[in-house]
Each structure stands twice: as structure tokens, then as C-alpha cells.
Amino acid sequence: MFLFQLNALESILVYFNWSITVRLVAIIAGGYASYRTAHALFFSPLRHIPGSFLARLTPLRSQLINISGRVGQMTKKEYSMYGDIYVMGPNAVVISNPVDIKAVLASHAFVKSDFYMGFDTFGIENTVSARNPKVASMRKRQLGPYFNPAYISRMEHDILRYGILGLKSKWDSELAQSSSGRIEIDYSRDFTLATLDSISALAFGIEPRGLKDNDATAADRVEAALTIHGIHAMMPLFKFFPFSLATWHWESQYRKLIHHCNESIAARRKHLAEGGKKPADLLQAFLDAQDPESKTPMDERQIHASSIEVMLAGTGTTSNALQWATHLLMLHPELRARAVDEVRSNFAADHVITYVDVKKSLPFVEACIYEALRLCPVPGGIVPRVTPPGGITLQGHFIPEGTEVWASYSGSSIHKSTWDEPLKYDPTRFLDNDKSRSNFLTFSSGVRICSGRHLAWAEVSTILANMLKDYDLSLPDDYTHLGPSVLDDSGYPKLMESVIYAASTPAHPQRDCRLVLARRM
């Protein structure tokens, strides 16, 4: 019987000899390619919209761009080539006009695309990844009261302690050991440790030791977790065996983070059960969160998911915001001098500047941060949404139901008719200018706007303002590849290179994110 099967197989193989097989495959592939081409050119509802020919044929192009980490550069370039709307996949368009982006993001009509499935935690939708508008609004109602400025100010003690004060004690102890009174820092690393310490303290309720021990273990775990989610979003196949084996290293790092998160929740419950005081932090917020309408709390998995989620959404973003703001101030000494002057003329040397202080007295420093986040938008890629029934008309093009609309922050932040001299770093455009602020989309806009924006502002602005108050900054002597007089094609100081996976990150931080720090004169 077995032999008979083998014989049959052999005769089939002989019958369809190799050359025929190859020919068949070629015919099928050729047929498919012609079908795709004909569809893209003559039938696709997107055929009148500008864009690259290859993008119309296959999603592979977009996938390769994603994997290369060059989605920011690519969307900037293609915005310049094709304008406000262009095709980026057989069923996807990229939009860059702030008016269109705000319209798309305004309501729940345009839901998040399946791309966000890669960011689910414990198999459920979290605030960031929710495609279902009901889940998203429930989470916003439950957590809203804890992400507002009033609750942020109750958490400010920790934000300062693990943010700027943590940085200062690290830098001051290094300065104390330096004979020249100057130290060189890697601000990419230091800001990563500080923002991670701050969020860990708030989300896990434990004393973090990143800065104290100059230890990036926890930061590496968060990085690994983001890598896993990024891979799962860009290449869902890697969720499954045997491909999942390739990601084992990151998975095991991620599991340690999850374990840490679970332990911290258990520890907080024990503390409360023993009659301990309720601290004001994010962990407590997740435990207490309740929908004001239906009184629904979050269940066990949602609490765990939220605590992991703020670690992932709140560290790289905030740290990179600080890195770009610092980088830009180092490239523009005259603007830095103005910021330093504002800070030092408003506050005594021994005063720790708070977020309220910044908002009240430091409009220029605030404008420097806005402008850094505009020119170098931290979520520099695109945010994908799906067109609802009825479609939408954008820039005169009808976009039918089911088309993916990808909002481009890289495009909107250099949009030609929105910003004068878009490539220039010019903080003054944000001074007393409501129009600039309404076109500022780095924290997104509409119903899915960043929940953590006030927290991020509190961290970034207090770190930057106090750093400018307490230290004199300069570029190292051997830092010659970039600087105020190293200009790019547009005539402005050249920016360090970046890569984008979860956030727009310096590509060579150890080379590019160096500066010399001395105690203020």
C-alpha cells in the first residue's frame, strides 16, 4: 500500500516535471501581477490619487519601509513629492494636511486599523490599541480623572523626585568627582533612565533605581516589550510558532516586566489591605478607576494591561521629546541663551521649577518644547484609521468605506501652507499663538488624543527648565559632525539621524547625544 503511494507520487512528479512546475508558477504569478496592475491603474478607487506605482500594487513596500524604521523620512519625502494626499498601499492613503487629519481624528467614526492588534496586551484591547470605540471611550471615562492636571499635580512630587532631581544628583555627583568642573553626558541614556524611573514609580509604586545605579536593565525590558509589539504589528506571523522562536530573547525580557508589574499590583493590594495609606499615583488610579456613568471598574486583566501600557506609551515618547528638545537647543545657541535667560531671571538658583511655574512664567521655554515636538514629532510615523461607511472626500478625492487613511505627523508638522519656513526651528511661532497650537498634532487630536500629554508635559518641561537653570551646556570639543554651523540642504543646522519604530529615536545616540555640562556660572 505504502509502496503504491510512493509510486503514484513519483509518477505525478514525473508527469509534472520541474520545468512545467516552474512554468505554471510563472504563469500564475504573472497573471496575478497583471491583475494587480490592471486593478491599480484602471479600477482602484484610489487610482486618481498621486503616489508611487509600487505602493498601488503591493502592501509589501509599506511593510519594508516599516521594518526599515524609515517611515518618518519616507513620509516627509513623499509629502514633498505628492502633497496633501497620496497612495501608500493598494488600499491605503497618507494624509498630511492638518485640517484633514483633525477631521479624521475628531470622532470615533474612523476606527483604528488592525495594525493596533499587535499592541494588545494579555490578549485584550488596551487604551492605545482599542479598535472598538466602546472600549476606547470606556477607558477614557475610567481614567480621565487621573490623567488631568489636578491629579498630575498630586503626582508631581514623584515626577520631580525621579525626573529632574534624580538627574541632578547623578550629574552633581559626577561633577564633584571631575577635576575640570565639567562632565560629558549622554543625554539619550540619562533621559531614558529618568523618564523610566518616573513612570515606574507612578505605575508600579516602587522606588526605581535606574538613575541611582546608572542601570538600564528596566529600560531594556521596556525596549524589548516595544520591539515585540512592533514586530507583532508589522509582521503578525511572528506571533505564531515556529516564527515566535525568533523573538524569544525579547519575549523573555518582556515576561520579566510583566512579572514585575503583577508583583507590584499584588504588593499594593496587600499594603491597602493592611490599612496602608492610598498614594496618589497611576497604579492607584488603575485600581480605583471607575466609569462615572455605569460605575464599571477595570477588571484584573485591564488593570495589568494599563500598567504595562503606560510603561510602553510613556517612556520612549517622553525621553525622546527631551532628547530632540535638547538637541535643537544645542544647535541654536542664541535660542538657548534666550531660554536660559528666561529661566534664570524668573527663578532663584535654589528653586525647583514646577510644571505650574513653567506654564505661568516660562512661555519661551514652553515654546521651545512645542517647536521641538513640531519639527521632530516623536510619534513621527503615521497613525492608521479605517474609513467608515459612506466614505469621505479629502482634497477633492472620494475615499470609499474600508480604505485605510494614515495620518502623517511628519507631513503635517512641515505642512507648507500651515507653517512659515517649516524646516526652521523657530520657537517664537508658538508664543501666544492659538493657531499654531491648534495645528500642533504631536499628541494627536480628537477622541483618541494622547491621554498622557499633561504628564508628559510635566516631566519634559520641569527637566528641561531646571537643567537650563542649573547648568551651563556646551558641545564637546570633538563634536564637529553636527552643530550650529553644520547646515543641511535647506540651510538650517543639520539634525541628527533618527529611526522610527515606536517613537522617533536618535539613530546614533552615543555619537550624537553628547553634551558638556558645567555648574552654572
Ligand X SMILES: *[C@@H]1O[C@H](CO)[C@@H](O)[C@H](O)[C@H]1NC(C)=O
How many whole angstroms separate alpha carbon 262 and alpha carbon 204? Answer: 9
Write the Ramachandran bin of 256: left for phi over 0, alpha for psi from -120 to 50, otherwise beta: alpha
Q: Can residue 442 be called a binding residue for ligand HEM (CB under 6 A)?
A: yes
Instruction: Give the one residue of 48, 77, 154, 259 binding ligand X; rule: CB under 6 A.
Output: 259
406 contributes a contact to ligand X by CB under 6 A: yes
Q: How far apart, in whole angstroms, are the C-alpha atoms of residue 375 and residue 371?
A: 6
Tell me if 261 is assigned to a ligand binding site: no
Binding to ligand X (CB under 6 A) within 366-385 occurs at: 381-382, 384
Q: Which of residues 267-326 bind ligand X (CB under 6 A)?
A: 300-301, 304
Q: Determine, following the binding rule CB under 6 A, whether residue 310 of this chain makes contact with ligand HEM.
A: yes
Q: How far is the CB of 299 from ligand X (least distance, A)?
A: 9
| Region near ligand HEM per CB under 6 A, out of 164-172, 261-269, 360-368, 377-385 | 377-385
On whether the CB atoms of residues 215 and 209 are closer than 8 A, the answer is: yes
299: β partners: none
SS (H, E, C) 10-75: HHHHHHCCHHHHHHHHHHHHHHHHHHHHHHHHHHCCCCCCCECHHHHHCCHHHHHHHHHCCHHHHH
Question: Binding string to ligand X for residues 64 to 103, with x set by CB under 6 A, is what?
Answer: --x----x--------------------------------
Instruction: Judge contact between 404 and 116, C-beta under 8 A.
Output: no
Of residues 45-64, which lie at the interface with ligand X (CB under 6 A)? 59, 62-63
* Partner whose footprint covers residue 62, from ligand X, ligand HEM, none (CB < 5 to 8 Å by kind): ligand X
Stretch that binds ligand X, among 145-153, 183-191, 254-262, 473-481 (CB under 6 A): 254-262
Binding track, positions 129-148, relative to ligand HEM; x by CB under 6 A: -------x---x--------
* Residues 450-469 interacting with ligand HEM (rule: CB under 6 A): 450-452, 455-456
> Under the criterion CB under 6 A, does residue 262 sit at the interface with ligand X?
yes
Query: Who's near 279: CB < 8 A, 6+ residues apart?
Result: 205
| Shortest distance, position 303 Cβ to ligand X, whole Å | 8
Contact between residue 187 and residue 467 where contact means Cβ atoms under 8 Å apart:
no
**Exposed / middle / buried, residue 370 (Cβ in 10 Å: 0-12, 13-18, 19+):** buried
User: Residue 368 interacts with ligand HEM (CB under 6 A)?
Assistant: no
Task: Please list, residue by residue across 471-498, b when 16 or more beta carbons sit within 10 angstroms of its beta carbon and e when fewer do.
Answer: bebebeeebeebeeeeeeeeebbebbeb
Chosen from ligand X, ligand HEM, none, partner binding at 10 (C-beta under 5 to 8 Å by type): none
499 in contact with ligand X (CB under 6 A): no
Decide if 203 contacts 311 (C-beta within 8 A).
Answer: yes
Q: Is 278 helix (H, G, I), strand (E, B) or coil?
A: coil
- The CA-atom distances, in angstroms, between 318 and each of 266, 313, 380 are 27, 9, 13
The helix-helix angle for 316-331 and 217-234 (nearest 10°) equals 100
H or E element that contains 324: helix 316-331
Q: If binding is defined by CB under 6 A, does position 317 make contact with ligand HEM?
A: yes
CB 141 within 8 A of CB 412: no
Given candidates 233, 367, 372, 383, which one binds ligand HEM under the rule CB under 6 A? Answer: 383
372 binds, among ligand HEM, ligand X, none (CB under 5 to 8 A by kind): none
Stretch of 61-69, 84-92, 289-297, 436-444 contacting ligand HEM, by CB under 6 A = 436-444
- Per CB under 6 A, which of residues 103..132 are in contact with ligand HEM? 127-128
Residues in a beta bridge with 460: none
Binding mask 393-432 for ligand HEM (x = CB under 6 A): ----------------------------------------
Phi, psi for residue 386 in degrees, rounded to 5? -115, 130
Residues that bind ligand HEM (CB under 6 A): 127-128, 136, 140, 310, 313-314, 317-318, 321, 378-379, 383, 442-444, 448, 450-452, 455-456
Binding site for ligand X (CB under 6 A): 59, 62-63, 66, 71, 113, 115, 122, 234, 255, 258-259, 262, 300-301, 304, 381-382, 384, 406
Binding-site residues sit at 450
